[in-house]
Structure 1
Amino acid sequence: MTVRHKNCPQEKAVKGWQEHQLHALQTITCDAQLFELAASIVHSLGFDHCSYGLRMPLPVAQPRVVLLTNYPRAWEERYKEKGYVAVDPTVRHGTHSLQPVVWSDAFFASSRDLWEEARSFGLCVGWAQSSRDVNSTMGLLSVSRSGEPISEIELRDKEIQLAWLTQMVHLGMSRILTAKLMPEAKAQLTDREIEVLRWTAEGKTASEIADILNISERTANFHIANVITKLNAPNKTAAVIRAGMLGMLG
């Protein structure tokens, strides 16, 4: 077994590369500018194109989605026209796993039409990884090129940078877009409101919660009403769902 010294040249190079990019990724306040920086980093790693998708957990039925890409415009239109997002294995994989994946014939076996069309647009070689944060917001970074396949050596050399970039772009995009697309995530619930909401999630009525917490039923309803307002929810059931998905219930 080979043991890599913590100060080996490769790790020093990776650390220096990260430090060089970190400040910009943390301070940019525009999603388009952040994507441009990410695309330039992806290009420096040997890929022609990239895309980044951000999916908010709310609304539950139709989550808000933002997609930024520098793929060929004709491919973007074709992808949308054919509804490929519904059968895209990278999206399906990213929804269920945070493990990175390298594109291959086997990986796209269930979506041959998508794979063949993508290759016809020069999207022949690719890598993708998803990410999530405490608000249950999901991000997916995909990079691609038309040239040489990704070798084991290249993957070993670049996967750390790609994984790091995936996390940093997600944190940046989430920071920029959450306040605009999901203001509920910024709501500040009091300890008592959280306590009442937890019991509501257990199916307890306001009267039962009042008995459990030794407060009046009117006070229990007051806290529930406050939570509904803060989370912009239509009722207490929706408030419980939103709070749970946003990680507010602990």
Structure 2
Amino acid sequence: MEAWLEEQFCLLETKGSSEDFFAELSKITSALGFNFCAYGLRMPYPLSAPRTEMLNNYPTPWQQAYQEKNYLQIDPTVHHGLSSQLPIVWSDQVFARTPELMEDARSFGLEYGWAQSSRQANGTIGMLTLARSSEMLGPNELARYRYQLLWLTQVAHHGLASRICAEKFDMPELSLRELEMLKWTADGKTAEEIALILGITTRTVNFHISQAMRKLDVVNKTAATVKAALLGLI
């Protein structure tokens, strides 16, 4: 167990892109008996259609089918991961409402699977999914690898979320003053009230709020406050 954990710490120190990190992650999951590995990252914004990025070594035809049939929207393991950080094991019961999804997955060799999600303070949600073509995941195996899988979920999210965000998303950098204005705004204070509390002019308050709006690429201070909060900035 100690040697295995040391390997995970080495993985965290892996340099390079998200693809490089995922390749190393796949080797570790393969050693645990899973020939398929997937990681999905969901950003908290925009609320109407949160952005999602995925890395996996699934068969290309299955990746295409999953995307073309929009299975992401009905995948019960994804829905579970968005509301719970407890692991979930694939079963007919789990896919009872989406049998076509399970049938399609099995046709590409994805028979048995396990998934668990993890969250970061900035609002991102990541989910690690491991699958294989044969040998059902029994309670003894799950108990034996319980701590490894839990730790691996955290390692995957910590290592991949930061890389994907840096590669795919423009994370805004707000000044301390801009963040301060948004915090007071989130508490329901008007610009005049914030100015009085901080001993500055209303014009200064509005300037910092407008700067925050520009950096966050939103059209009003309400949207700026919501986005900053969802991204874990305030």
Same-fold call, TM cutoff 0.5: yes
Deviation by residue 1:16-69 (Cα, 9 ceiling, x = unmatched): 101123223333221111111111111100011111111122233332221111
Q: After TM superposition, give the deviation of residue 103 of structure 1 in Å.
A: 0.7
Distance in 1 (CA, whole Å) between partners of 2:62 and 2:171 is 34
Does the 8 Å CA contact 1:64/1:181 hold for their aligned counterparts? no
Counterpart in the other structure of 1:198: 183
- Paired residues, number: 234
Does the 8 Å CA contact 1:55/1:66 hold for their aligned counterparts? yes
Counterpart in the other structure of 1:138: 125
Counterpart in the other structure of 1:3: none
The sequence identity of aligned pairs, in percent, is: 47
Distance in 1 (CA, whole Å) between partners of 2:171 and 2:34 is 37
Counterpart in the other structure of 2:139: 152
State yes or no: 1:77 paired with 2:70.
Answer: no
Distance in 1 (CA, whole Å) between partners of 2:74 and 2:178 is 41
State yes or no: 1:88 paired with 2:80.
Answer: no
Worse-matched range after superposition: 226-235 or 118-127: 226-235
Distance in 1 (CA, whole Å) between partners of 2:179 and 2:70 is 40
Gaps of 5+ in 1: 1-13
State yes or no: 1:47 paired with 2:34.
Answer: yes
Q: Normalising by structure 2, what TM-score?
A: 0.93
Counterpart in the other structure of 1:4: none
Counterpart in the other structure of 2:209: 224
State yes or no: 1:170 paired with 2:157.
Answer: yes
Does the 8 Å CA contact 2:11/2:25 hold for their aligned counterparts? no
Counterpart in the other structure of 1:9: none
State yes or no: 1:106 paired with 2:93.
Answer: yes
Q: Normalising by structure 1, what TM-score?
A: 0.87
Structure 2 SS opposite 1:136: coil
Distance in 2 (CA, whole Å) between partners of 1:140 and 1:157 is 21
The letter for the 2-side match of 1:179 is A
Distance in 1 (CA, whole Å) between partners of 2:7 and 2:178 is 43
The letter for the 2-side match of 1:198 is K
Does the 8 Å CA contact 1:184/1:230 hold for their aligned counterparts? no
Counterpart in the other structure of 2:198: 213
